[in-house]
Structure 1
Amino acid sequence: MTTQTTAPKKTGAPAPGDASGLIGIPAGLGRALATGGGVLTVVSTFLAWTWTAEFPGDLTVYGYPGGLQVLVLIAGALTALFGLASYGVKGLGWLAPAGADAALKFAALAAFATTWYTIIAISTKLGGVVNLEPGGYIAAAVTLVAFLGALALPFERPEPDPFDPDDTGWDQFKHTSSQNWQTVRAAFASKEPPPLRALPSYVEILVIVATLAVALLVFTYGIGTEYDELFIGFLIVAGFGFTALHRSGLIVHVTEITARHQNITVCGGFIAAACFPFTQSDDQYATLGVYILIFATVALGLNIVVGLAGLLDLGYVAFLGVGAYAASMVSGSPSSPFDLHLPFWAAVLVGAAASLVFGVLIGAPTLRLRGDYLAIVTLGFGEIFRITANNLDGTSGPDVTNGSNGISSIPDLKILGFDLGVSHDMGGFTLGRFANYFLLMLIITAVVVLVFRRSGDSRIGRAWVAIREDETAALAMGINGFRVKLIAFAVGASLAGLAGTVQAHVTYTVTPEQYLFAGTTPPNSAFLLAAVVLGGMGTIAGPLIGAALLFLIPNKLQFLDDYQLLAFGLALVLLMRFRPEGLIANRRRKLEFHEEDEAPAVLSKTGA
């Protein structure tokens, strides 16, 4: 009996005559078509696509891209750059450290899908393809050629050699026990790009700054899309473009750099977010920004309960409501049963403390349950809170919450004489009401992030993770499971109440209908849980990004009316199918979901 060991090999680019792609043309020809098509796509965006300005974006101007043409220009530029990188052009190696073929396919798909969507939208809105100018026909043709050329490229992207088979260390791994060998094989056969060569610190910091600047630009552009067609095109380019950058290995390498400079990345992220209100000329989109921050902060608090401690809470939005009601009752509202008008800091403490008390009261009798049983109990608590707040109207019960009318006319906050309800000039910029609340909410988000980081890295945080991974084993190791879970429940509830205090003043009115389990718009318990899972459980950036997407996309898809939730649900299904670990996932969860894909068989035995 002999054992043959085959090390993972790079697939590499095929010879020019090979036809190993999805269509039967040589890969070399396909690469040339994709690269040339990307260049011509960029050129086509400087031509007129239609003769009338009735289509949004005014695509009638020669020499100046507008509207959806800008998005096609970006996708075409990515296609051309990845095409040149696949040829090994000097200076572009950083763009595709893991190989450019797979990235080229998605970049070409982004250009093709956005262009053809624009052509179809023009034809539908204006009444036929007769409304197209030559630039539209050229763009449709060259993006189709580029996409077909990209399909001829190798299906598998290049993978790095994890070991040199001639190295003496390889023999040691061959004789490892079967179980350990499976683990080693899974890790070393991973499709991740090779480790990034360490750059000088100042270069890595510049990379972080550039990344944050691009993120701010993308977010500002997405939130500021003025019409429906432009937002759909933005989603197409952003989705396929991000996938292309991920397949190229660039996203992974940037992630490695940010991981080495976590403090700088976190501080830079908040500085970039603080710049957002200064990019807006009015409060129209700052309104969305402050609601996104409220939603994201609550999702991050839920991430402690679900992501770190592994407790499925389906009624978490009730803690947001408790904090909002508590703060509104002591902030001088004429609808409040209490004649109190506490300063902001006191209202914040009241809201957070009320949510913490409710978290302990609900968690103490229920956290001895596990799994589905705990989820049902928390779901019931969320509904009990909403129904109780609706019945405390002086008729069905004591007059505390004013029933379905809620607590209204909540005054704007005044902090150290600074009235957040009026506009202020700062450095030549005018900050409106929602911009003021955006900056305040950003400070609260920073506090929540600090609590999450400190608690996650602490002894109690490691106990949460142990409970999440295997509660029985954790109990056997001496961890007090009930106490640890109760602390997670209380901390998560207090953070939600903290965000609720600001929400009460932003919305002016607090009503029971704002705190449903499920609905068409967030925040509600279903959307909060989806934000945590979609973004990536147990991470900081994951829930923040997930919440931003889950709030922004439904808000922009309102033109779909009854089909809004259908389209949104389909998008979630596709995302969970192809990236179940979430948009921002730690290594542990990624291996859990992709262990089979990352561990192809590399050992074979043949009889002697």
Structure 2
Amino acid sequence: MTSHTHAATPVIPLPATAARAVTTAGAALTVVSTFLAWTWTSEFPGDLTVNGYPGGLQVLTLVSGALTLLYALAGYGIRGLGWLNPTRSHNSTFFLALGTLATTWYAVISITAELGGVVNLEPGGYLAAAATLITFLGALGLPLDRKPAEELPRWNWFLAVIVGLLPYLFWRHIRLAGADGRPPRAKALPSWAEILVIAVSFGVGLHVFTYGIDTEYAELFIGFLVAVGFGFAALTRAGLIARITALTTKHRNVTLVAALVAAFCFPFTQQNEQYALIGANILIFATVALGLNVVVGLAGLLDLGYVAFLGVGAYAAALVSGSPMSPIGVQFPFWAAVLTGAAASLVFGVVIGAPTLRLRGDYLAIVTLGFGEIFRLTVNALNGVSGPDLTNGSQGIPSIPDLELFGFDLGISHDVGGFTLGRSANYYLLMLVFTAVVVLVFRRSGESRIGRAWVAIREDETAATAMGINAFRLKLLAFALGATLAGLAGTVQAHVSYTVTPEQYQFAGSVPPNSAFLLAAVILGGMGTLSGPLVGAALLYLIPAKLQFMQDYQLFLFGLALILLMRFRPEGLVADRRKQLEFHETGQLDVPPDTPLTDQAAGTTKAGA
């Protein structure tokens, strides 16, 4: 019998009133410190020498400190702030205080390390470090919902101290309880208010994403990741994420429209062509990942060579694009090139899937991995020497011309409503149309009878077959649909990158998209969900694009991230209710501790039955 009751006790024994006052005062001082200079020289990125105007990492501390202050004030029962903390738990304040501490101390340590000592700190930097520490200590005095501590042998304590794993011990012995994923009970809002909340949420999400993609140096982006990570954890503990998720589930059509509007507004916020190009590539990567989610997430087919279908669509579009280096020497209209790329990927999906989908598990994974390598070696050999002159071998097909749709040349800048849209922004908007099509196909497929049959095959193919489902035909349909969606994205990718080469379509490489990163995006985001692969693909593309020093360690770092994900959140960042129930204990079958012994035995028998 396991008890799931969580004791609301402070880590530091302080009266709740005093702890709340310390936390509030520390958060207020943190906000004030951001308006003071943190260093005397502008050599540190962001120019933290200006009084009265936060800049660079100070902005992250300002936002984190303001949120901490807001949630600390919510603990006083101020009317109107309770909606931000549905669970009425102080865990959200604790995580915000911890995130503010981590972000600020990262900035202070970076200044000290890059400029050569603490003498380079101005009084504002010292005040920020002290204020965030005071805020964190005050948050430790708040009554926190904690899970029962797990006892460790004495030698484990000693070993942990020796190797510096005190954070691990903190997690084992002071584990904070979080929201259980169920939407918190709240007073129902009018429909217009719920729609307004959804719109504001996507507006805030667009602003956060735009700020992250516009960061100009690595220190600011790392601080951004730290602040956003702890902020998301805090909002999850508060139950606010669950509340907004419940609203988006209730208004699905409104949510899709709001998401598309927010995505459409992104290029109008960009003045840098490089950042707009990152956005276009994220959409390509995310769209292909969503197509793979049909194969892996819905049908449960482990495909390790999926990037080859992206390559088939890209090469097909490049061959008919009118490129002077194309051996075919024809130029199709774009709509015909799109159909050509999608049809070619569809044919390859059926040809590869028909003889291989009778395999299961690891055997299917090995065959699809082999197909991906065969595709890359084949297009590399079609150079006129080792085989027919069709793909120019390792040189690929360069000089792919820009598209012109309805008299609108996507290769040049255009002024729209006072905004200047460059080449990357034009292709971003084009790719957004393709993403909307793929999202529509995925959603309609997943909610249809075929989608439910895919899920049944994923869960237990033998049982699904026994219930009359033609497993082979439906798996082939999923394989073909996923290949077609990848081919659609490939037609746009060929024009965005100007060239297609065999090295772009490997199982694992330094530059996404490739099969390993696509599969990681699906798993990281959440298999079988609509928004999960989009979130996972955005993270996996954006982080390496902004942190160039990670190029040589990408596979190691992403492998480590997946290990941590499997340990702490195996259902992915965005998970449906089924996955949460599958991977986490819910306590639904637990017997209350005050139940008589005879009733406990009966309850245990019923649970076992």
TM-score (norm. length: structure 2): 0.90
**Equivalent pairs: percent with the same residue?**
70
CA displacement at 1:604 relative to structure 2: 5.7
Q: Which of residues 141, 149, 166 in structure 1 aligns to 2:130? A: 141
2:500 counterpart residue number = 510
Q: Map of 1:418-567 to 2, 5 A cutoff?
A: 418-560=408-550, 562-567=552-557
Distance in 2 separating the partners of 1:538 and 1:337: 40
Within the alignment, does 1:278 sit opposite 2:301 as a pair? Answer: no
Deviates more, 1:189-198 or 1:118-127: 189-198
Q: Which of residues 196, 220, 227 in structure 2 aligns to 1:206? A: 196
CA displacement at 1:560 relative to structure 2: 4.1
Distance in 1 separating the partners of 2:267 and 2:332: 28
CA displacement at 1:564 relative to structure 2: 4.7
Q: Which of residues 227, 231, 239 in structure 2 aligns to 1:237? A: 227
CA displacement at 1:598 relative to structure 2: 7.2
Q: Which of residues 39, 46, 63 in structure 1 aligns to 2:28? A: 39
CA contact (8 A) 1:46 1:62 kept: yes
Distance in 1 separating the partners of 2:542 and 2:319: 30
Deviations 1:332-371 (A, max 9, x none): 1122121210000000000000000000000000001111
1:81 counterpart residue number = 70
C-alpha change, 1:505 and 1:338, in structure 2 (3 Å) is: same
CA contact (8 A) 2:181 2:242 kept: no
2:280 counterpart residue number = 290
C-alpha change, 1:560 and 1:339, in structure 2 (3 Å) is: closer
2:53 counterpart residue number = 64
Distance in 1 separating the partners of 2:125 and 2:236: 30
SS of 1:156 mapped into structure 2:
strand
Within the alignment, does 1:95 sit opposite 2:102 as a pair? Answer: no
Deviates more, 1:345-354 or 1:88-97: 88-97
Within the alignment, does 1:123 sit opposite 2:120 as a pair? Answer: no
CA contact (8 A) 1:190 1:598 kept: no
Aligned CA-pair RMSD: 2.0
Distance in 1 separating the partners of 2:135 and 2:16: 13
Deviations 1:560-600 (A, max 9, x none): 45445444443343333222111111000011111257766
Look up the equivalent residue of 1:494 and give its one-letter code: T
CA displacement at 1:267 relative to structure 2: 1.0
Look up the equivalent residue of 1:126 and give its one-letter code: L
How many residues align? The count is: 567
1:582 counterpart residue number = 572
Distance in 2 separating the partners of 1:463 and 1:455: 10
Within the alignment, does 1:371 sit opposite 2:344 as a pair? Answer: no
SS of 1:447 mapped into structure 2:
helix
SS of 2:77 mapped into structure 1:
coil
1:163 counterpart residue number = none
Distance in 2 separating the partners of 1:521 and 1:29: 52
Deviations 1:429-486 (A, max 9, x none): 1111111000000000000011111111111111101101111110000000000000
Look up the equivalent residue of 1:366 and give its one-letter code: T
Structure 1: which 5+ residue stretches go unaligned? 14-19, 159-188
CA contact (8 A) 1:100 1:157 kept: no
Look up the equivalent residue of 2:575 and give its one-letter code: A
SS of 2:415 mapped into structure 1:
strand
CA contact (8 A) 1:85 1:100 kept: no
Distance in 1 separating the partners of 2:26 and 2:483: 53
CA contact (8 A) 1:6 1:602 kept: no
CA displacement at 1:399 relative to structure 2: 1.1
Distance in 1 separating the partners of 2:527 and 2:554: 26
CA contact (8 A) 1:97 1:193 kept: no
CA displacement at 1:601 relative to structure 2: 5.2
Within the alignment, does 1:300 sit opposite 2:290 as a pair? Answer: yes
CA contact (8 A) 2:304 2:516 kept: yes
CA displacement at 1:538 relative to structure 2: 1.0
Deviates more, 1:191-200 or 1:381-390: 191-200
Look up the equivalent residue of 1:375 and give its one-letter code: A
Q: Map of 1:357-396 to 2, 5 A cutoff?
A: 357-396=347-386
Distance in 2 separating the partners of 1:589 and 1:34: 36
Look up the equivalent residue of 1:404 and give its one-letter code: S
Within the alignment, does 1:331 sit opposite 2:321 as a pair? Answer: yes
